[in-house]
Amino acid sequence: MRRPTLEAVAARAGVSRATASRVVNGQTTVAPQIRDAVLRAIDELGYVPNSAARSLVTQRTDSIALVVSEPPTRVFSEDPLFSTVIRSASLELETVNKQVVLMLASSAKSHARVERYIAGGHVDGVMLISMHGADPLPSALSRLRVPVVSYGRPAVPVDIPYADNDNVGGAETAVRHLVEQGRRRIATIAGPQDMIGGQDRLTGYRNVLRDSDRRSIVAVGDFTRESGAVAMRQLLGDDPQLDAVFVANDLMAVGALQSLRQAGRRVPDDVALVGFDDIEAAKYTEPPLTTIRHPVIEQTAAMVRLLLDLFEGLPAEPVVLPTELVIREST
């Protein structure tokens, strides 16, 4: 009742195990006639290679962990970031016949589990997506001598290749755009400051404001829509005269738009708004949102390529993708 083995296939086809193995692995050095016999046997028996046995000798598993080191509430939130990364990483790796295994690592306990799982050789490599500074996983995993790459620059300095987008530059572009529009009092709704993206985008904002001799007006959100709405109300209270806001992500910008509307401010006449990410929803707000495009799919592809390079023993240097200003009607 056990699943058929290669042995059984070989016996049925009247060849040796070695030959059957060659056929299974698509080697060309097999006579067509024998090849067909083996294929028929495989088909008749419904043979599928035992992955454990194969991994044992090849030292490969052809599966790759995507470790999402965030509380599930964020992973499965309105923000399409994680889902896009998961989906495009899967797609990208399918083309090279590798399977993505998604693992959530929210608590400290699950960190340990993830570490053990990876140390146990279940996967050939790890893609890490983790935005929080305190995260112990990047360094822990890089110690395991397993190929590891990261989506986004790890918050702790650790020597693993990563693919990032130019958060600082993007934020600078956004704010410079507002300056060029003649806006005088430019506020920002920053992201959480324990996330690298939140920090970098705030840095970009500060850089331009300093250079253009303006006062910075900062409220901090947590990248959710609701927090954007709250932060906007707060900003309006702090400085009713503000005439522009750079919001660190589009989701918060959607919330901010809502608050602006409730406060009776017209966008962009009274207040101009620039977001960050260029999520789908940014096209459908009222008015459509000027934003900085965050190339998630390309960045994911770059990360996957880094990992594949590591497999090949090639040098893998961090990649930082450029961002791009997308002008719509909110400025």
Residues of the shown chain interacting with DNA in the complex, contacts defined by CB under 7 A? 2, 5-7, 14-19, 21-22, 24-25, 28-31, 34, 47, 49-50, 53-54, 56-58
Q: Which of 7, 44, 78, 286 binds a copy of itself (CB under 8 A)?
A: 78
Contacts of 278 (CB under 8 A, 6+ apart): 250, 291, 292, 293, 294, 326
CA–CA distance, 128 with 163 (Å, rounded to integer): 11
Separation between Cα atoms, residue 19 and residue 29, nearest integer Å:
9
Size of the site for a copy of itself (CB under 8 A): 40
22's contact among a copy of itself, DNA, none, with CB below 5 to 8 A by partner kind, is DNA
Among 5, 55, 203, 234, binds a copy of itself (CB under 8 A): 55
| Residue 286 binds to a copy of itself (criterion: CB under 8 A) | no
Cβ closer to DNA: 19 or 330? 19
Residues near 275 by beta carbon (within 8 Å), at least 6 away in sequence? 247, 249, 250, 252, 253, 282, 289, 290, 291, 292, 330
DSSP SS3 for 15: coil
CB of 56: closest distance to DNA in angstroms? Answer: 4
Q: How far is the CB of 99 from a copy of itself (least distance, A)?
A: 6
Q: Which two tokens stand for residue 166?
A: 């130019």
Give the side-chain half-sphere CA count within 13 A for 176: 13
Residue 29 interacts, among a copy of itself, DNA, none and using kind-specific CB cut-offs from 5 to 8 Å, with: DNA
Give the type of residue at 258.
Answer: Q
Rounded Cα gap, residues 291 and 288, in angstroms: 9
Residues forming contacts to a copy of itself in the complex (CB under 8 A) are: 1, 3, 48-53, 55-56, 61, 63, 72-73, 75-76, 78, 80, 82-83, 86-87, 90, 94, 99, 101-104, 106, 109-110, 113, 116-117, 119-122, 145
